[in-house]
Structure 1
């Protein structure tokens, strides 16, 4: 059965450090080939990475908008330095843009201006979502750790809010003022030498028993598994969710977007979509435990 064609497919910001030209070419291909409606563009993890893509930013922005994509500019998830505060103030001064808020330090500067709430901002109840909407938020992306029961209750209690759910990507778990990624490779944060670029999908972290556990992404910690909501999309739509987020990973994201668009449009069965997704992103275990109220790293067969 086809789901609603009114569903919006959102591509979140690239969370990893990719070389500038690779970053540019990724978005050029997204503009030309990916069936996504909204692209959130910018650096959310580490301000030291900005100079890698700054030379290409305007060209990417122009290419995406020329292709009919709605582009939101994402803010940093953690402001720790004065230069980062100044950079954010300069970014938010662009009156012609809609921003995706990644941290509350940006929220108070956007009161009354159109913006969206990203998944890095905690939204755990309907009252909070309504407050964001009253301040100008056009949509709210709920945190990926929420179970379906909580998502349904929040959406039911705040029907006036446009809700978004993360449907693909490694789960952001924590962010720090220190860089464990640099430390793991024998460097300090101030002299990191951008070693996170060596791990375009994050640096795997194992337990003492040599079991894959997490992944380091600069100052951010993400899950080892990739959160995949495919068989759950129909239920989310029934609960009023109309926006679905894909977080860029080091794989064919055009292919990922095409699979999700097919499932949302009803031209591709969820089980077939899941099988194709495993071909597009091989070698990485999938998980969906959070939405089923289980351990986040688990895979629950929705059937």
Structure 2
């Protein structure tokens, strides 16, 4: 993707354990109503959840493709068992769709094949970016914790190699993944007998400090930010850096309205700074952009400052 190409919006995979009917209907609405260019689908947080969405996966992909969306299938973030390794091999070997790799094992299997690299693979410098491009990556989604200076360097390097650099601009920031499930443990359960309690928290389970202050969110085996990453006010700056693809992470919110807001900012119909209060009202919670401004990740820095 070169710098003179139009900016694109992408929608990352649903990270939460939604009932299959809600999951399917969400993507149907995205297909019919959302002005996104790229949609990434698949269960990437917990392999135990994958069978629940499997019956609706082909139908969702078909609906999105028919609506003109570019569809990518995502590999899991963490592969720990023989069964999970087999499932990953099946994903890579038995599908004609392009794959977004979120694990180094998947990345090895995809060498020489056109693929994307998700934000769960650490891409922190130009050498890594060049290595990924030589192996067949066409899009690399940067980790959410990178500051603006690093994003700019990587966007420039991507432009020189013809590789698209993507930045997450909305949604709880993914911070860590574990082989253990704190979500289950918080309910007095073991991972193997978790009863899928993560399904009770469609946007993640809030975690508070001993003083009762909001701290993080837990989504099964995944740790996320409490606040919602929001770079609406930074979109112009990101485009000036050479970033041409912008990722929104799905949540149990009015995502159609959120997507429309970001699309309007990208097209110059709305001012990015002026949309932040609107987005906070939809979320009913705080937004943050601290990582981008080389500050504490949980804070919000006014772009004008």
Question: Which residue in 2 is equivalent to 1:290?
Answer: 291
Gaps of 5+ in 1: none
Normalization by structure 2: what TM-score?
0.96
**Are the aligned partners of 2:154 and 2:165 in contact in 1 as well (CA < 8 Å)?**
no
2:251 is aligned with 1:249? yes
SS at match of 1:51: helix
Whether contact under 8 Å (1:16, 1:201) holds in the other structure is: yes
Work out the CA distance in 1 between the residues paired with 2:39 and 2:216. 26
The Cα of 1:68 is off from its aligned counterpart by: 0.4
Contact 1:126–1:155 at 8 Å: present in 2 too? no
After superposition, the Cα gap between the structure-2 partners of 1:4 and 1:22, relative to the gap in structure 1 and judged at 3 Å, is farther
Q: Report if aligned partners of 1:4, 1:265 keep a CA contact under 8 Å in 2.
A: no
Q: Is the 8 A contact 2:5 2:244 kept in 1?
A: no
**1:155 aligned counterpart, secondary structure:** helix
Structure-1-length-normalised TM-score: 0.97
**Contact 2:273 2:303 (C-alpha < 8 Å) held by counterparts:** no
Counterparts of 2:154 and 2:129 in 1: how far apart (Å)?
8
Distance in 2 (alpha carbons) for counterparts of 1:211 and 1:30? 34
Alpha-carbon distance between aligned partners in 2 of 1:102 and 1:5, rounded to the nearest angstrom:
26
**How many angstroms apart in 1 are the aligned matches of 2:29 and 2:281?**
20
Structure 1 counterpart of 2:241: 239
State the alpha-carbon separation in 2 of the partners of residues 158 and 37 from structure 1: 20
SS in 2 for 1:232: helix
Question: Which residue of 2 is the match for residue 198 of structure 1?
Answer: 200
Work out whether 1:102 is the aligned partner of 2:85.
no
Return the alpha-carbon distance in structure 1 between the equivalents of residues 254 and 301 of structure 2: 24
1:257-302 C-alpha deviation (Å, 9 max, x unpaired): 10000000001111332232123222x2100000000000001011
State the aligned residue count.
Answer: 300
Q: Which residue number corresponds to residue 189 of structure 1?
A: 191
- Superimposed CA distance per residue, residues 174-202 of structure 1 (whole angstroms, 9 cap, x where no aligned partner): 10111000000110000000000000011
Whether 1:34 aligns to 2:38 is no
Structure 1 counterpart SS, 2:232: coil
Q: What's the secondary structure of 2:252's corresponding residue?
A: coil
1:1-303 to 2 correspondences below 5 Å: 6-159=6-159, 160=161, 161-282=163-284, 284-303=285-304
1:81 & 1:245 partners in 2: Cα distance? Answer: 30
CA distance in 1, matches of 2:85, 2:102: 14
- Consecutive unaligned residues of structure 2, counting only runs of 5 or more, are none
Structure 1 stretch displaced more, 54-63 or 271-280 = 271-280
Tell whether the 8 Å contact from 1:98 to 1:115 is kept in structure 2 after alignment: yes
* Partner SS state of residue 176, structure 2: strand
Residue deviations 1:216-236, cap 9 Å, x none?
A: 100000010100001111111
What is the alpha-carbon root mean square deviation over aligned residues?
Answer: 1.3
Deviation at residue 4 of structure 1 after TM alignment: 7.6
Q: What is the CA–CA distance in structure 1 between the aligned matches of 2:4 and 2:301, rounded to whole Å?
A: 25
1:42-92 CA-partner distances (Å, limit 9, x unpaired): 011000001211111111010000000000000000001111000111111
Cα distance in 2, alignment partners of residues 21 and 212 from structure 1: 31
Q: Specify the SS of the correspondent of 2:45.
A: coil
3-state SS, counterpart of residue 273 of structure 1: helix
